[in-house]
Every structure is written in structure tokens, then in C-alpha cells.
Amino acid sequence: MSSNDFDVVVVGCGIAGLSAAITAQQGGARVAILERAPKDERGGNTRYTESFWRMKSEDAVSDDFEDRFAANAGGWPDPGIVQETVRDRENQPAVLRALGIVDPELIATIAEEAPKALKWLTEFGVKFDFLPLYFLSQSTTRMGPIGGGLALVEALGTYIDERSTDIEVFYETGARDLIFDDQGTIVGVRAVGRGNKPIEFRGRNVVLASGGYQGNQEMLSHYVGPQAQFVRPVSRGGHYNRGEGVRMALSAGAAPCGDYGSFHAQPVDPRSTDIEPVVLNYSYGILVNDAGKRFTDEAPGMVDATYEEVSRLIMAERQGIAYAVFDAGLDDVENWPVTVRSRVPPLEAESLIGLARAMAVDERDFLATVEAYNQACPTSGAFDPFQPDGLATAGLEPRKSHWARPIFRPPFRAWPMICSNCFTFGGVKIDERARVINSEGDAIPGLYAAGEVAGLYYRTYTGATSVMRGAVTGRLAGTDAVLRRNATD
């Protein structure tokens, strides 16, 4: 074995790559990790996430887990084909095996494996708990590691640092292409090191765990459309994810899976340099675009279940920007500051005209918008900021379904908001062993996808399941790669 020959080559060093690499090493494999970032920035999106897991306890996922995935399946898949998911995998037709859908068997595997993955992570010293987050109330149960994703990267990162002969990490090295022999068997990865230096890594098992394409404007314009120019990754880690993993797998014949035209959208303050500078208080006020006009129902339901759709609507507005506007009544909402992660103060004025000027929106149109909204607010009913209270506007288009109270008491405040990209949904189809499935419905021997590269979501993200997906699919890939190595040794 030459110094660049490995049993398993893992691309990416986030939760998916780390889980795959360590699982494979624990099974006796010699592993290489290729990581685009320098060591002190390793970990991609995982490094910056709070890493909530949709769990009701350390032993079980949330009660709504599989139902939410089913509800968020997106689109109108052909029921004649989807109904065959009840068959065992080997008896499913190829047309279904290669179909890009929310695969119930994979979801069931993630639900079953998530508690095991969580326990495995605790062996590295990570502790999970029910931690506070930026929603005042939630529609599901969530747990997270104390210290967030950074704690995961540090705990697993320390483990690999201490085993550098078994797990060699090549930082500042970007994977570009898969290498196949003339029989079509995967034999490694071509990459580029610093100074555009080409390097080849040999290995008959490759785990693509390099995240999505949120850091690739060309792919975003291609898949999401021209408004993607107004969107940026929600934090620094996403800039490293430029879609090579997805592209390499597709070039190898993988079946696409996950919603290519969509992504996990979050509303953030564009002025802020904070990590994940979300602005999630908007459902207590109104949203206006840069013309000073409302364009959506600000409160279709609980914020944690609806902010994604609202964010995408902001992206669709001219210039991709909106303003969340409030009067002094915002302070009636106890603890509202936890819902705003941007530390940049809001625009503030003693009059609505002053606020319009601060936002640089048309003053007359803005005043007319507020006036029409105020007129349509209910005059009775109890305001309850912690649950949908039914205080809806009447006769206003678009209506506001909850928390509708007139805006008239100074001081007036506004936060600018854009749509940010947490991670993209487009990826490739995998099975319950994290093997990449080709367009013929068969596994591509030796090729695995984990984390964001494995497409799972359509249109609406089932919240607090992406780190879990990374840990579970990474471990599945590492386990299967070891079995394959042992079988072919």
C-alpha cells in the first residue's frame, strides 16, 4: 500500500465525514479524509450549527418525526409508483429504487439509528440536553449537544488528531473527481491541494460527505434561479460547500434525490456578521418589501414551522430584501430578544415617516400600507404571543392570520431581512447502507454519500434532522465500507 492508498477515502470533515471516517477506522480500516478548509476551520456547516436533533429523549426521535417527513415530501409524486414502497427493497421495481422521493425506508432507518448515533457521540464526551433556542415556542421536541456543532467537531476532531496513522487528514485539499478503473470499479479520488497541485488518493471505498452547493453561486443560479444572487450561506462554513460531492456522484451515474430547486431557507439580517443572524420576531409585526408594501401573511402559523416559506418569499421580492416593522407593542412579547440573533441594532424612528426614510422605502406607499393594515386588525380578542392566537386581519390582502395588532405607538423599529441558505436540498439517492444508488436503481459499488450530499428534503425542511442525518448516514457508510473491505480483502 503506498502512502496515498487507503481502505476508505472520505471527502469532507463535517459530522457526516467525521462519523464515517471514525466508524471505518473503528472497524479496522485505514482512512483518508480530504478537507477543503484549513484545520482551524474544519467542520463545514457542522462547526456553526447549534445542532438540534428532533428527539423527545436520548432514546427516541420526536413523536411527529415520520409524519413530518411524510407531510414534507413535496410535489406530487406518482402514487402508482410510490405505493410500491411497501414492498421489500429487493422486490421494488427499478423505477422506484431510482426515484427521487422521501424514502420511507431510509426515514425509518434514520429514526431507528438516531438514538444509537447520539449514544455513540456521547462516548466522545459530548453531552445532549434540551437546550434553549431562538423560538419562543415550538411545534416539536428538540435536543442538542451542549456546545453545539462545534462541540461535535472538536470531540470527533480530537479523536482523529490522536490517531493520525489510521486516519490521515489532508487539509486545504479539494476533491474534484472520482477515479474508476476500466471495469468501472471505483479506485479513488482526484483532488487539488494548495497551489493548484493535483493529488490522487487511492481507495476502493469513497464516502462523499462534502455538504451541499450552498457555497457555489453557479450551481445555485442553475438550480434555484436568478434570485439566488440575493442569498448567501447562513454562516461561514457553508462557503466551503461548493457542490463537488453532488456533482461527482451525479457524474458517476447516481440517481438525483432531494429538491434541487430548493434549500433550507432562514431569514437573517444582511448587515450582521454574526453566525446565523436570524430575525424571527417578524410574526408580531408586518413585513414590507423595498417598495413599502406587504407581500405575505407574516403569521401563517408557529414561526418554527413557517419561517422557511416566508424566507423564500423574501428572496422572490425585488432586491430580495424585506423589513420587519414594529411599534412599541413588540415589547409586550416577553423575551422577544432571543428571537433576533443579529446584534446590529434595528432602524428606529419616532414616526412612521421617519422609519420609512430609515428603510429608504417609498414614504407614501409605506404609510398607506400601515394604514390599511391597522384598519384591518381585529378590535377584540386576546393577544397570546406563545401560540397561534387567531388575531387575524379582516378584508386585507394578503391577510395576517395571527398576532395582528395595529402599528401606531412609537418608537417604531425595523430590521432588514434577507433569505439565507442554510444548506441545499439537492443530492443523490442512497439506501439504508448509505450506498449511492444509480439511475438504474442499483448500488454503485464502493460509493457512499452521507450528510447533505444524500438528498432527503423536498421544499420544506423537517427541522432539526440534518445533523442527525449526517451522523447516521456517516456511520452507515463507515460500517458498510468496512464490511466491503473485509469481503474484498
- Footprint of ligand FAD (CB under 6 A): 11-17, 34-37, 42-46, 48-52, 149, 174-175, 209-211, 234-235, 237-238, 240-242, 244, 275-276, 422-423, 451-452, 464-468, 470
Handedness of CA 203, 207, 210, 213 (dihedral sign): positive
The Cα–Cα gap between 319 and 482 comes to 50
What's the distance, Cα to Cα, between the start and end of the chain in Å?
A: 13
CB of residue 471 to ligand FAD, shortest distance in Å: 9
CB of residue 396 to ligand FAD, shortest distance in Å: 34
Handedness of CA 376, 382, 385, 389 (dihedral sign): negative
Nearest to ligand FAD of 110, 414 (CB atom): 110
CB of residue 61 to ligand FAD, shortest distance in Å: 12
CB of residue 242 to ligand FAD, shortest distance in Å: 6
Residue 420's H or E segment, with its range, is: strand 412-424
Beta strands in 115-261 (DSSP E): 128-129, 144-145, 167-171, 174-180, 186-193, 197-208, 232-233, 256-257
Nearest to ligand FAD of 96, 186 (CB atom): 186
Maximum distance among all Cα pairs of the chain, rounded to whole angstroms = 78
Quick one: angle between helices 466-488 and 104-122, nearest 10?
Answer: 90
> Is residue 282 within 8 Å of residue 417, measured between CB atoms?
yes
Cell of 168: 490521515
Beta strands in 87-196 (DSSP E): 128-129, 144-145, 167-171, 174-180, 186-193
The Cα–Cα gap between 254 and 386 comes to 45
Other Cβ atoms within 10 Å of 260 Cβ, number: 19
> Is residue 19 within 8 Å of residue 478, measured between CB atoms?
yes
The Cα–Cα gap between 489 and 486 comes to 5
Nearest to ligand FAD of 41, 298 (CB atom): 41
Nearest to ligand FAD of 42, 435 (CB atom): 42
Q: The cell 477506522 sits on which residue?
A: 25
CB of residue 102 to ligand FAD, shortest distance in Å: 16
Nearest to ligand FAD of 49, 281 (CB atom): 49
CB of residue 57 to ligand FAD, shortest distance in Å: 17
Nearest to ligand FAD of 35, 317 (CB atom): 35
Nearest to ligand FAD of 27, 212 (CB atom): 212
Residue type at 181 in one-letter notation: D
CB of residue 73 to ligand FAD, shortest distance in Å: 18
> Is residue 225 within 8 Å of residue 413, measured between CB atoms?
no
Nearest to ligand FAD of 82, 275 (CB atom): 275
CB of residue 201 to ligand FAD, shortest distance in Å: 11
Nearest to ligand FAD of 234, 280 (CB atom): 234
CB of residue 279 to ligand FAD, shortest distance in Å: 14
Nearest to ligand FAD of 64, 276 (CB atom): 276
CB of residue 243 to ligand FAD, shortest distance in Å: 8
Residue type at 295 in one-letter notation: F
Cell of 21: 471516517
> Is residue 326 within 8 Å of residue 318, measured between CB atoms?
no
Q: Residues near 206 by Cβ (< 8 Å), separated by ≥ 6?
A: 8, 9, 10, 11, 178, 186, 188, 189, 446, 447, 448
Nearest to ligand FAD of 143, 310 (CB atom): 143
Q: Which residues pair with 458 in a beta bridge?
A: 460
Q: The cell 393577544 sits on which residue?
A: 383
CB of residue 86 to ligand FAD, shortest distance in Å: 28
